[in-house]
Amino acid sequence: MRKILLILLIILMALSFVACTKGADMPTNNATDKENSNLMTDTADKLGITHQDYPRIDGSTSTLSIVRAINEAMYQNNENDNFPETASKTVPSYKLLINGEVDMIIVPYASSDVLALAEDAGVKLEFFPIAAEALVFITPIENNTENLTMEQVRSIYLNYGIKNWNVIGGPNRELVPICRNSDSGSQSQMDNLVLNGKKMHSAIRKNYVELTMEGMLEQVAFYHNGGLNGNPTNSYALGYTLFTYLKNMGDITGIDSKLKLLAFEGVVPTEEAIADGSYSLTDAYYAVVRRDLPKDHSARSIINWLKSDDGRTVIKGLRLITPKKEEGGIEAQRM
């Protein structure tokens, strides 16, 4: 019996030795896997873009899906080294571009403060519109107010001059104006399209600022319910966001069913009204580069692709709005 056990032990030791030897001799697949994850697509090959010269791209929270779609169109695998996990947000992205730390950003148009930063740094920026977007005003679905005018919005946010919804045809409830932080994309749109560079009332900036896009939607939808305290108030909030972001978040969370999109100057923000420019707070998402970026840089190749039929198809696939081709206003206003 002992001889049998000894023989079995010897056999097991021999097998273990062989297995260890083979394991030591076998090459690892890590390098191969890494190389495969960075393979480029036919689209990238046609544009002459390689993994080595793929541009450094950043952007706002609302445009992360575009930056990712660009990457997915150029790479065969989204585990590549350049796949964007997060966005730096609007103003930080502009600062990175101005400092030369990225090659291109996808963002709403720059605020006057950002343009001043670029001018101080001696940097000229080029803007290429790739998708239509619009600033929209939101309130809880329970609010029967239907419309806002430019004069009313400016009175609310610049002077804190309207504090009850009944002043603008709504219910007898307090009007609570929620605002965004200064480095957000929606705040840049608010500054450019409504406030015209003037500072928002200090009481609003101090007491009613929301730091995230998702948080703005939730604050507006539920503020009158008392938030975490659960004590309902005789109020309805007013806020602002970007149209496509609201629609996309609605698909994910259903938050849009709790909110009302207010008409502005009598025009309801719809995809058609934004695409044809009849909604007056329409602007765009832009691909932005420094003017001194070489003409043959890969970032410029991607911009040309975004403006092509193939690129526009990708934009539509993200449920973003492509401006009507005959509309040249967005680019003309910014050049």
- pLDDT digit string, tens, across residues 54-98: 999 999 988 999 999 999 999 999 999 999 999 999 999 999 999
Q: Determine the Cα angle at 275 with ends 269 and 277, to 5°.
A: 75
Is 234 exposed, middle or buried (CB count within 10 Å of its CB: 0-12, 13-18, 19+)? exposed
CA distance 306 to 128: 10
pLDDT of residue 38: 95
> Which residue, among 161, 56, 60, 152, has the nearest Cα to 111 in the 3D structure?
60
DSSP structural state of residue 279: S
Q: Are both 262 and 155 inside the same structural domain?
A: yes
CA distances from 77 to 35, 82, 83, 139, 289 (A): 11, 10, 9, 41, 26
Q: Are both 154 and 245 inside the same structural domain?
A: yes
Higher-confidence position of 326 and 72: 72
Tokens encoding 3: 């001889």
Q: Give the bridge partners for 133, in sequence order.
A: 283
Location of structure tokens 């998702």: 214
CA distance 313 to 319: 10
DSSP structural state of residue 335: -
Q: Are both 127 and 142 inside the same structural domain?
A: no
Can you give the residue range of the structural domain that contains 125?
42-132+284-327
Q: Are both 139 and 265 inside the same structural domain?
A: yes
> Considering the domain boundaries, does residue 323 fall inside one?
yes
Q: Are both 205 and 111 inside the same structural domain?
A: no
Q: Are both 237 and 315 inside the same structural domain?
A: no
**138 near 220, Cβ under 8 Å?**
yes
- pLDDT digit string, tens, across residues 105-157: 999 999 888 999 999 999 999 999 999 999 999 999 999 999 999 999 999 99
Q: Are both 268 and 212 inside the same structural domain?
A: yes
Domain total for the chain? Answer: 2
CA distance 306 to 304: 5
> Considering the domain boundaries, does residue 37 fall inside one?
no
Q: Are both 123 and 158 inside the same structural domain?
A: no
CB count within 10 Å of CB 238 equals: 28
Is 257 exposed, middle or buried (CB count within 10 Å of its CB: 0-12, 13-18, 19+)? exposed
Q: Are both 223 and 138 inside the same structural domain?
A: yes
Q: Are both 126 and 260 inside the same structural domain?
A: no
Q: Are both 176 and 261 inside the same structural domain?
A: yes
- pLDDT digit string, tens, across residues 194-251: 999 899 999 999 999 999 999 999 999 999 998 666 789 999 999 999 999 999 999 9
- pLDDT digit string, tens, across residues 17-60: 444 444 444 455 566 667 788 999 999 999 999 999 999 999 99
Q: Are both 90 and 165 inside the same structural domain?
A: no
The CATH number assigned to the domain holding 50 equals: 3.40.190.10
